[in-house]
């Protein structure tokens, strides 16, 4: 009877610890990805100016793919808003570098201007800013890595 209890208790312990080990591994993988992208993102943010977030989009997608579930919503918001801006620019057939001093290039029709402005406002929205802050804070608190975004 004692041996049965030990076997059951050991099995229960393994079942309880296994999900925790999976979470630690997920967290470790994400933190490694954050560290791997830290230098590149810092350089993009330092040099990129107004197009920095667009230039960082591929790195953001890679980080989202590694992100633990507790930060997934934040990554989704950040990426969704940047992708919408990229799509609006693509639909209008313009490059971010075509804008001078924040002004759209000559010949851009009103509908495209409005779509780009709306998408840019979403990137700069409070919801996206809060999501970026959450991603930065997660990297700092959990990964002990400063992620410049």
Q: Of 16-20, 37-41, 130-134, which has the strongest mean pLDDT?
A: 130-134
- State the SS3 of 8-24: HHHHHHHHHHHHHHHHH
99 within domain boundaries = yes
20 within domain boundaries = no
Whether the CA torsion 73, 75, 76, 78 is positive or negative: it is positive
39 within domain boundaries = yes
Give the rounded percent of residues in the chain with a pLDDT score beyond 90.
61
SS3 104: coil
8 within domain boundaries = no
Number of domains in the chain: 1
DSSP 8-state secondary structure symbol assigned to residue 107: T
The answer for residues whose C-beta is within 8 angstroms of residue 61's C-beta and 6 or more apart is 79
* Straight-line distance from the first to the last Cα atom of the chain, in angstroms, rounded to the nearest whole number: 59
Q: Residue 43, exposed/middle/buried by CB under 10 A (0-12, 13-18, 19+)?
A: middle
Question: What average pLDDT does this structure show over 83-108?
Answer: 90
CA distances from 123 to 7, 63, 79, 88, 138 (A): 55, 18, 9, 12, 20
- Give the chain's mean pLDDT: 83
pLDDT of residue 125: 95
14, pLDDT greater than 70 = no
Name the pLDDT band for 24 (thresholds 50, 70, 90). low
149 within domain boundaries = no
107 within domain boundaries = yes
111 within domain boundaries = yes
Residue ranges making up the domain that contains 33: 25-143
23, pLDDT greater than 60 = no
Q: pLDDT tens across 71-95, in order?
A: 999 999 999 999 999 999 999 999 9
Question: What average pLDDT does this structure show over 23-37?
Answer: 86
124 within domain boundaries = yes
């Amino acid at each position: 009877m004692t041996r049965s209890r030990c076997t059951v208790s050991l099995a229960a312990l393994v079942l309880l610890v296994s999900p925790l080990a999976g979470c630690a591994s997920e967290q470790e993988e994400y933190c490694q990805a954050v560290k791997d992208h830290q230098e590149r993102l810092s350089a993009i943010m330092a040099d990129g100016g107004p197009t920095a977030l667009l230039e960082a989009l591929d790195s953001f997608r890679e980080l989202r793919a590694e992100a633990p579930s507790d930060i997934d919503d934040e990554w989704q918001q950040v990426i969704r808003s940047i992708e919408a801006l990229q799509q609006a620019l693509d639909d209008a057939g313009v490059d971010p570098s075509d804008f001078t001093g924040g002004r759209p290039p000559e010949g851009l029709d009103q509908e495209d201007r409005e779509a780009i402005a709306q998408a840019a406002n979403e990137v700069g929205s409070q919801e996206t800013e809060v999501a970026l802050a959450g991603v930065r804070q997660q990297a700092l608190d959990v990964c002990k890595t400063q992620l410049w975004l």
